[in-house]
Amino acid sequence: DTEVTQTPKHLVMGMTNKKSLKCEQHMGHRAMYWYKQKAKKPPELMFVYSYEKLSINESVPSRFSPECPNSSLLNLHLHALQPEDSALYLCASSQGRSYEQYFGPGTRLTVT
């Protein structure tokens, strides 16, 4: 099974809301990733967790807060977002860093 699941599929939130995106994999992978993708652009890496520890934070604003409760789960907590944060948020996992990555279907986020 090479499935990565993400919830919710769609999310609309106001600039004062707090929400969370969830990602789950059951492939025994030890690296998990969050990406942000704007329309007509490639995905851009936001965070990397390796063995449940944050190893890369690509200068992402603090209104995005990642969490890795265990090796199968990855959350992205959202607070005080801006309209320009509207995008497709993709989660991925891999056996380890530099290994093949598998992506979830994404959460399409709209900030109003």
Partner 1 sequence: GIQVEQSPPDLILQEGANSTLRCNFSDSVNNLQWFHQNPWGQLINLFYIPSGTKQNGRLSATTVATERYSLLYISSSQTTDSGVYFCAAPNNDMRFGAGTRLTVKP
Q: Considering the rule CB under 8 A, would residue 33 count as an interface residue with partner 1?
A: yes
> Which residue in 55, 62, 12, 9 sits closest to 32, CA to CA?
55
Identify the helix (H) or strand (E) that includes residue 76: strand 73-79
Closest CA to 65 of 8, 111, 20, 14: 20
- Pattern 67-96, binding to partner 1, x per CB under 8 A? ---------------------x-x-x-x--
- Please calculate the CA angle 27-21-47 and round it to the nearest 5 degrees: 70
Q: Which two tokens stand for residue 87?
A: 């995008």
Q: Which of 13, 27, 65, 103 binds partner 1 (CB under 8 A)?
A: 103
Among residues 17, 72, 75, 101, the one that binds partner 1 under rule CB under 8 A: 101
Which one of residues 18, 38, 41, 77 is an interface residue with partner 1 (CB under 8 A)? 41
Tally the residues of the chain: 112
Judged by the rule CB under 8 A, the positions of this chain that interact with partner 1 are: 2, 33, 35, 37, 41-45, 48, 56, 58, 88, 90, 92, 94, 97-103, 105-106, 108
